[in-house]
């Protein structure tokens, strides 16, 4: 968070004031193999903080790492001609399976939509994922209606800037387990998934995911990779999000508010 001088206009009057603005900076992600080769993987625009979570969450949800033991070390690169702490290198362990041709999708992610920069339609196909129809908790409708406000109350940086998305994991009783904020909704989710990855806590079968914005294809794809079967979005779902949820047996809730919500797929998990 940084403070910026602004001119505040209200009606016919104006005054100078200081305003809090959410920080957005690039993060370059690199993979280093046990053989000493280093590969540039992606650049994402993110809110600094929880970068280890973000990096491992992104790599896991894109299928480039599969388990905690794949990662030997995580480090910032400070010997490059960019601002310090804006380049992250993941050192793979000897047992990690990594194929450089997996990078031919030419990742470029932005804070608004990580799919936009994929090099081909094949890059956004979901491969190797199994149905979650037997997984996930049953959650009461009254609990779902509380999730948006609990998520919002936990957004400390949003409270001061109004400029961040959030992703949070909850148990079936509506108790929050982890919350992450970022300028990008998919980054916020990667931070949540990465946290669980580093704690060797994947798949996430018994938690409910709540996101502050809409439910897009990429949100559903990342949730599916992490084994999250119940997704609650404050905003609307896209048609592809509904398709993914339907195909893989996920529960997708949209327009979640205190007054009510829509269930698009997986109604059996809502009581």
Catalytic residues: 113
Q: Which two tokens stand for residue 39?
A: 């590969």
User: Contact at 8 Å (CB) between 155 and 147?
Assistant: no
Altogether, the residues listed in the chain come to a count of 271
- For residue 70, the number of C-alpha atoms closer than 13 Å in the C-beta half-sphere is 19
3-state secondary structure (DSSP) of residue 110: coil
- Residue with the two structure tokens 């398709």: 243
Q: Is the peptide bond before 203 cis (omega within 30 degrees of 0)?
A: yes
Residue 37: burial class (beta carbons within 10 Å; 0-12, 13-18, 19+): exposed
| Closest by CA position to 228, among listed 175, 190, 183, 185 | 190
3-state secondary structure (DSSP) of residue 176: strand
Distance CA 264, CA 225 (A): 20
């Amino acid at each position: 968070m940084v403070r910026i001088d602004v001119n505040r206009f209200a009606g016919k009057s104006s005054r100078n004031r200081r305003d809090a603005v959410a920080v957005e900076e690039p993060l370059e992600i690199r993979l280093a193999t046990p053989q000493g080769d280093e590969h540039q993987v992606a650049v994402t625009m993110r809110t600094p903080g929880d970068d280890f979570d973000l990096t491992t969450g992104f790599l896991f949800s894109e299928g480039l790492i599969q388990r905690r033991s794949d990662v030997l070390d995580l480090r910032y690169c400070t010997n490059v001609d960019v601002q310090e702490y804006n380049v992250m290198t993941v050192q793979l362990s000897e047992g990690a399976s990594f194929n450089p041709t997996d990078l031919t999708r030419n990742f470029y992610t932005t804070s608004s939509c990580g799919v936009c920069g994929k090099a081909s339609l094949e890059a956004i196909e979901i491969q190797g994922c199994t149905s979650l129809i037997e997984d996930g908790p049953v959650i009461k409708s009254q609990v779902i209606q509380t999730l948006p406000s609990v998520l919002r109350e936990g957004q400390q940086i949003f409270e001061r800037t109004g400029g961040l998305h959030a992703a949070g994991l909850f148990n079936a009783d509506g108790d929050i387990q982890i919350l992450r904020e970022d300028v990008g909704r998919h980054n916020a989710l990667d931070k949540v998934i990465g946290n669980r990855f580093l704690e060797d806590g994947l798949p996430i079968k018994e938690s409910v995911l709540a996101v502050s914005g809409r439910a897009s294809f990429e949100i559903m794809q990342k949730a599916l990779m992490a084994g999250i079967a119940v997704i609650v979005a404050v905003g609307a779902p896209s048609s592809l999000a509904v398709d993914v949820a339907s195909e893989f047996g996920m529960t997708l809730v949209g327009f979640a508010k205190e007054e009510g919500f829509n269930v698009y797929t997986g109604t059996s998990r809502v009581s």
